[in-house]
Amino acid sequence: MSAKSELFGKRVEVLDKGWIELQDMMGDDISIVNAARVSFLGESKGDDKDKKLLFYLLRHRHTSPFEQVEMKFRVRAPVLVWWQWARHRTWHYNAQSGRYTPFKEDDFYVPTIWRKQSKDNKQASEGVIDPAEADALTAEMLKHFDEGFALYERALAAGVAKEQARLFLPGFAVYYTWVVKTDVHNLMHFLSLRTASDAQEEIRVYAQAIYDHFFKPALPWTAEAFEKYVLRRE
């Protein structure tokens, strides 16, 4: 099984300026198995039997043992990602505050493509717009960011409190850094929803990065069972 210590402090780049780091983790696959066996005051019985039990637990939705393992991340993401992430109320959040920390000139998300609105799904996108129109929109967005940030700096220079000066910043595009923590049961629920094909791309890439770079290496048995019984619905 993977050494968790190798994952601590590892930074995975996401989007244009975002990233994810694993700050801390409590437990592993064996912790889940031992939590289940405590009902009978039992412990590990070797890899084969332990893995078989873990698969049984997830297949039959015995989820409480998975709540005994927790993962904590430090994440930098734009507000349009946090707006969706915060809907998962089983997570614990602590966020960077614009009341205390001034923003920098490049603290804004600039998409590499502009997606079209889906004709069949009111909340989703499908396809991309014409490249020439996309370039024009990106140029206008960068101009908008520059103007907004100039007004933000002007307000700060005039002595306006940071908590009000930030009103000039483009709201959904600005990057914030959060520390977030949840247990593995609720993390799997988050991953099942946010890695799905109908999830918004900006949060989907964060969820996929968590799964590929942290969840799967740290919890290989759980990840295998998760793919078999949750993602594939077998």
Q: Which residues does the annotation mark as catalytic?
A: 194
Instruction: State the alpha helices, DSSP H only, in 26-173.
Output: 29-37, 47-59, 79-85, 131-157, 162-165
Burial of 25 per CB tally in 10 Å (0-12, 13-18, 19+): buried
List beta partners, residue 178.
75, 95
User: Which residue shows structure tokens 């070797």?
Assistant: 46
Could you report how far apart the first and last alpha carbons of the chain are, in Å?
25
From CA 38, how far away is CA 216, in angstroms rounded? 25
